[in-house]
């Protein structure tokens, strides 16, 4: 164990933890996007990245960060309309997501195409995500918070777990070793950012990109055409809820966690 790590555990408490993480790990969780280039945003369904943090992603895109979307399921069950078959909806949603991502400023989209509501929580899926992390080499992985209380959708809970497990394990050569045989290298993901979180520790002012977020979400017609007013109320409500915390109109929230603290560190909850 490094001297730095020893110091952290000797002194860790609520007041000093962020300072210690910054001083001793060299990671400023209050400025997680400052010195990074590549971002992998993992979402259970087409639209989640934009609903949760579309304003943040648009802002980062304007700052010339390279952002890749990884969508785990095909979204084929996301309708109340019995006339739309799953195969057709999957195709529609892929096209909607591509258009929406372009508005946010993202051109690279990767799909794993698991069936909506049936994302398997398995080592196989995790290994596929690990391979993608080793290919894309992100400086931060963004994913839903698997521990959001009362989150009913299994794709969201499993996507959150799979994403951070993959980010955590992508540096270990014996996990999905076949990647190395194919010429990929292990990759260290220093930071994780969880969206749809009830324990945010980083609030992003999105007042200048809120409209970009709205315009991107307008592309998800199959999801919101019939309940657009409700969606706007939701987005404005959540946006101003977080906005008030930093005295701005609209904001989005993330829980930023250094990867090294993602295992057997109970104090992560309070950083
Ligand atoms: Zn979703």
| Same domain (yes/no): 96, 36 | yes
Q: How far is the CA of 230 from the centre of ligand 1 (A)?
A: 17
Q: Looking at residue 137, what is its pLDDT?
A: 98
- Please give the Cα distance from 256 to 11 (Å, whole number): 20
Q: How far is the CA of 153 from the centre of ligand 1 (A)?
A: 8
Contact 256, 32 (CB under 8 A): yes
| Same domain (yes/no): 60, 180 | yes
**Residue that is written with structure tokens 């966690």 in the block:** 257
Q: Is residue 131 helix, strand or coil?
A: helix
| Same domain (yes/no): 59, 10 | no
Contact 60, 39 (CB under 8 A): yes
HSE-up of residue 61 (Cα within 13 Å, Cβ side): 25
- Reported as a pLDDT band with limits 50, 70 and 90, residue 6 is low
Eight-class DSSP state of 148: -
Could you report the per-residue pLDDT of 13-24, keeping only the tens digit for each? 666 677 777 877
- Please give the Cα distance from 172 to 130 (Å, whole number): 10
Domain containing 139: what range?
A: 31-270
In the chain, the number of structural domains is: 2
Q: How far is the CA of 67 from the centre of ligand 1 (A)?
A: 19
Phi/psi for 66 (5° steps) reads -90, 120
Q: Is residue 249 helix, strand or coil?
A: coil
- Please give the Cα distance from 46 to 100 (Å, whole number): 9
- Please give the Cα distance from 252 to 250 (Å, whole number): 7
Q: How far is the CA of 35 from the centre of ligand 1 (A)?
A: 29
| Same domain (yes/no): 82, 203 | yes
Contact 113, 120 (CB under 8 A): no
- Is residue 189 within a helix (H) or strand (E), and if so which, with residue range? none
Q: What's the CATH number where 260 sits?
A: 3.40.50.10320
Q: How far is the CA of 137 from the centre of ligand 1 (A)?
A: 24
Q: How far is the CA of 207 from the centre of ligand 1 (A)?
A: 24
pLDDT for 52 beyond 90: yes
Could you report the per-residue pLDDT of 191-244, keeping only the tens digit for each? 999 999 999 999 999 999 999 999 999 999 998 888 899 999 999 999 999 999
pTM of the model: 0.93
Q: How far is the CA of 45 from the centre of ligand 1 (A)?
A: 5
Could you report the per-residue pLDDT of 148-199, keeping only the tens digit for each? 999 999 999 999 999 999 999 999 999 999 999 999 999 999 999 999 999 9
Q: How far is the CA of 50 from the centre of ligand 1 (A)?
A: 10
| Same domain (yes/no): 128, 191 | yes
Q: How far is the CA of 43 from the centre of ligand 1 (A)?
A: 7
Contact 55, 252 (CB under 8 A): yes
């Amino acid at each position: 164990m490094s001297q730095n790590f020893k110091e952290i555990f000797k002194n860790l408490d609520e007041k000093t933890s962020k300072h210690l993480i910054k001083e001793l790990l060299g990671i400023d969780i209050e400025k997680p996007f400052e010195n990074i280039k590549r971002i992998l945003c993992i979402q259970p369904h087409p639209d989640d990245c934009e609903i949760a943090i579309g304003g943040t992603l648009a802002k980062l895109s304007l700052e010339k960060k390279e952002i890749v979307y990884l969508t785990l399921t095909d979204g084929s069950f996301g309708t109340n309309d019995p006339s739309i078959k799953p195969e057709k909806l999957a195709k529609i949603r892929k096209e909607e997501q591509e258009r929406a991502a372009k508005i946010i400023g993202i051109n690279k989209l990767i799909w794993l195409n698991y069936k909506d509501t049936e994302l398997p929580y398995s080592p196989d899926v995790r290994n596929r995500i690990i391979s993608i992390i080793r290919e894309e080499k992100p400086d931060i992985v963004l994913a839903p918070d698997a521990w959001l209380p009362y989150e009913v959708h299994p794709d969201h809970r499993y996507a959150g777990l799979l994403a951070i497990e993959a980010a955590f394990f992508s540096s270990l050569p014996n996990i999905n070793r076949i990647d190395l045989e194919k010429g990929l290298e292990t990759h260290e993901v220093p930071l994780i950012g969880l969206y749809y979180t009830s324990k945010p520790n980083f609030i992003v002012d999105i007042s200048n990109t809120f409209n970009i977020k709205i315009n991107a979400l307008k592309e998800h017609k199959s999801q919101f055409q019939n309940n657009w007013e409700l969606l706007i109320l939701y987005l404005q409500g959540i946006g101003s809820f977080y906005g008030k915390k930093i005295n701005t109109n609209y904001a989005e929230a993330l829980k930023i966690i250094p990867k090294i603290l993602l295992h057997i560190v109970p104090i992560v909850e309070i950083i």
